[in-house]
């Protein structure tokens, strides 16, 4: 393999490499693999497939060879599928995050109703669960991915949101029998048996991850309501919410990748409300010419509405979280842990 191909392959994210592998399998085989993935993974890999270009025969060979070597080296006789999965995830993600993902996988094996929600439009999900008890809504949202949960929450009545998020934050696991019952309810609404320990759904971190995807105005109103009801809980959630100034904890490579994905006008708006140390971190990770132009634009730009600055910062944070979920960058500071 040429040095150039080596460099290009190394630059590919895990999602892009998976997309290349699936494209080499052919339609039927790729469809069989995708059937075993969740909605989020299918969406992410599908997007990567659509964006792939300039993939050489040499690079395809490299991806397939690496995959074959990985399977050959990691799969061993005498290790069951569950044990193999546990070891791989713990090695890759650490004990705590791996445990949470394994719980979700185990739930997904027996829950058709809840899993189906991940494939539905957020407005449909909100309509489906809006008349349920707030505790049921909290469990459903804790089961969904944070960005989808935030979209569903945005379609809920304003007076329901704070109650639901507070319940997510204080949710300390869910009994398998309760999940099975809830799964049956969901299955009946839009037309298993679980075993093992309590599932690790909910908690202050889960609530914070959902809040990270809300619009700034919704986030402020929500946190204000939670604070009125329970100051200590509000403080716990707020400590875990990933805010714009936390971007200073990104390593230089991650910051450079993020800046490549952010439109110049959004960055300019967001930096109007940024801390000076974060501004310097951003300038440091740009070319000298680009940094000078941005400094000039910041000085020349007149007053802007706080709501516009907050919206731009939130959009950049959402881009950062999506890049982190794809394994392209590593987030530091508050919010969800990444390894």
pLDDT in tens, 155-183: 988 888 888 999 888 887 776 667 776 77
Listed range (36-50, 164-178, 221-235, 283-297) with the worst mean pLDDT? 36-50
pLDDT reported for residue 268: 92
Tell me whether residue 26 is exposed, middle or buried, using C-beta atoms within 10 angstroms of its C-beta: 0 to 12, 13 to 18, 19 or more. exposed
Same domain as 115, residue 39: no
Q: What is the mean pLDDT of the chain?
A: 75
In this structure, is residue 279 part of a structural domain? yes
Domain carrying residue 169: 111-240
Is residue 168 in some structural domain?
yes
Residue 337 has pLDDT above 90, yes or no: no
- Of 240, 273, 296, the one marking the end of a domain is 240
Domain boundary among 223, 240, 257: 240
Name residues whose C-beta falls within 8 Å of residue 124's C-beta, 6 or more positions apart in sequence.
Answer: none
Residue 113 has pLDDT above 80, yes or no: no
- If asked whether residues 32 and 66 sit together in one domain, one would say yes
Instruction: Evaluate whether residue 313 is within a structural domain.
Output: yes
pLDDT of 283 higher than 90: yes
**Which two tokens mark 132?**
């349920």
Q: Per-residue pLDDT for 100 more than 70?
A: no
Do 46 and 126 fall within a single domain? no
Structural domains counted in the chain: 3
**Top-confidence residue, 105 or 13:** 13
Hey, which residues does 174 pair with through a beta bridge?
199
Q: What are phi and psi of 174, to 5 degrees?
A: -135, 130
120 in the same domain as 225 = yes
> Do 232 and 192 lie in a common domain?
yes
The confidence band for 89, taking pLDDT boundaries of 50, 70 and 90, is low
In 100-114, which positions are buried (b, 16+ CB within 10 angstroms) versus exposed (e)?
bbbbbebbeebbebb
In a domain? residue 98: no
Query: What would the mean pLDDT of 115-138 be, rounded to a whole number?
Result: 83
Q: Is residue 334 part of a domain?
A: no
**What's the CATH code of the domain at 315?**
1.10.220.30
Percentage of the chain exceeding pLDDT 90: 9
On whether the CB atoms of residues 153 and 210 are closer than 8 A, the answer is yes
Helix axes 306-325, 252-261, angle to 10 degrees: 120
Element at 109 (helix H, strand E): helix 95-110
User: pTM for the complete prediction?
Assistant: 0.43
Strand partners, 199: 174
Residue of 279 and 215 predicted with greater confidence: 279
Residue 33 has pLDDT above 90, yes or no: no
Which residue, 190, 205, 240, sits at the end of a domain?
A: 240
């Amino acid at each position: 393999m040429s040095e150039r191909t080596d460099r290009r392959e190394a630059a590919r994210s895990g999602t892009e490499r998976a997309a290349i592998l699936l494209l080499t399998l052919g339609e039927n085989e790729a469809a069989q693999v995708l059937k075993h993935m969740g909605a989020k993974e299918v969406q992410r890999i599908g997007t990567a497939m659509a964006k792939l270009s300039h993939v050489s025969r040499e690079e395809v060979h490299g991806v397939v060879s690496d995959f074959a070597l990985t399977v050959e080296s990691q799969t061993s006789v005498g290790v069951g599928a569950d044990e193999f999965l546990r070891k791989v995830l713990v090695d890759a993600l650490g004990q705590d995050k791996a445990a949470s993902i394994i719980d979700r996988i185990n739930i997904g094996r027996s829950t058709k109703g809840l899993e189906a929600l991940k494939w539905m439009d957020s407005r449909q999900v909100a309509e489906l669960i809006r008349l349920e008890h707030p505790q049921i809504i909290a469990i459903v949202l804790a089961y969904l991915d944070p960005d989808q949960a935030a979209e569903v929450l945005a379609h809920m009545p304003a007076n329901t949101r704070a109650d639901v998020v507070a319940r997510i934050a204080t949710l300390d696991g869910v009994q398998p029998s309760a999940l099975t019952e809830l799964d049956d309810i969901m299955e009946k609404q839009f037309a298993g048996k679980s075993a093992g320990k309590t599932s690790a759904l909910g908690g202050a971190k889960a609530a914070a991850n959902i809040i990270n995807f809300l619009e700034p105005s919704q986030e402020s109103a929500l946190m204000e309501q939670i604070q009125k009801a329970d100051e200590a809980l509000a403080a716990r959630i707020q400590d875990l919410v990933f805010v714009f100034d936390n971007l200073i904890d990104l390593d230089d490579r991650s910051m450079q990748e993020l800046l490549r994905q952010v439109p110049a006008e959004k960055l300019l708006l967001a930096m109007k409300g940024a801390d000076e140390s974060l501004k310097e971190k951003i300038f440091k990770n740009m070319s000298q010419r680009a940094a000078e132009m941005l400094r000039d634009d910041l000085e020349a730009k007149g007053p802007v509405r706080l709501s516009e600055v907050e919206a731009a910062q939130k959009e950049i944070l959402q881009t950062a979280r999506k890049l982190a979920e794809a394994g392209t960058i590593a987030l530091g500071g508050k919010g969800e842990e990444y390894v």
